[in-house]
Amino acid sequence: MSDMLVNLYAERETDNRIALAANGVTCKRALALDKQSIIGFVKQHFSTDNEGWADECSVALGRQPGSCFVAVSEQQPIGFACYDATAKGMVGPLGVAASYRQQGVATVLLNLCFEAMKADGYAYAVIGWVSSEDFYRKCCGAIAIPGSAPGVYSRMLNNL
């Protein structure tokens, strides 16, 4: 699986954040005091296939300002996205609870990461170890980086 590159200066199409908010789903930068709740959500929904995501999330939530964005419905996390977790300039992990998918939640969370990274001075974002290139091509115009696998993940203890 390759990494993908996103140009942070490209014009982005309007996303669904207003429609989502009207349906009670808000997306915002997470606060450290919500760490246990967000980590619990990540473990519950994603840890079977992605054991390390809770740890990456923990790093993002430990920054100041935090580099984790969360989607919330009825005061509970229903999605999350991080940047600068595994490496500077990298986006991920990203996940949306199954019952909230296909409504544009992930696209809004990604756009919030991109806006924050652009404000931090980045020109490009790298999406790490992509499992669905089609999704990122569609939602943010990402392009695969040739020769990028396994990239930074080659340092993992259980080497991919």
Residue type, 25: V
In contact, 122 and 8? CB cutoff 8 Å? yes
CB of 129 to ligand COA, least distance (A): 7
Please state, in angstroms and as integers, the Cα–Cα distance from residue 49 to each residue in 56, 64, 70, 112, following that order. Answer: 14, 29, 20, 25
Provide, rounded to whole angstroms, the least separation between the CB of residue 150 and ligand COA: 14
Nearest to 67, CA basis, from 45, 35, 98: 35
Q: What is the CA radius of gyration of the chain?
A: 15
CB neighbours of 122 closer than 8 A, spacing ≥ 6? 8, 89
Examine residue 95 and tell whether it contacts ligand COA (CB under 6 A): yes
According to the binding rule CB under 6 A, does residue 142 interact with ligand COA?
no
Q: Which of 27, 112, 126, 130 binds ligand COA (CB under 6 A)?
A: 130
71 within 8 A of 25, measured Cβ to Cβ:
yes
Nearer to ligand COA, 35 or 100 (CB): 100
Does 132 bind ligand COA (CB under 6 A)? Our answer is: yes
Q: Does 117 bind ligand COA (CB under 6 A)?
A: no
From the list 3-11, 19-27, 60-68, 90-98, the region that binds ligand COA by CB under 6 A is 90-98
Is 61 a binding residue for ligand COA by CB under 6 A? The answer is no
Q: Which residues bind ligand COA (CB under 6 A)?
A: 94-96, 101-107, 130-132, 134-135, 138-139
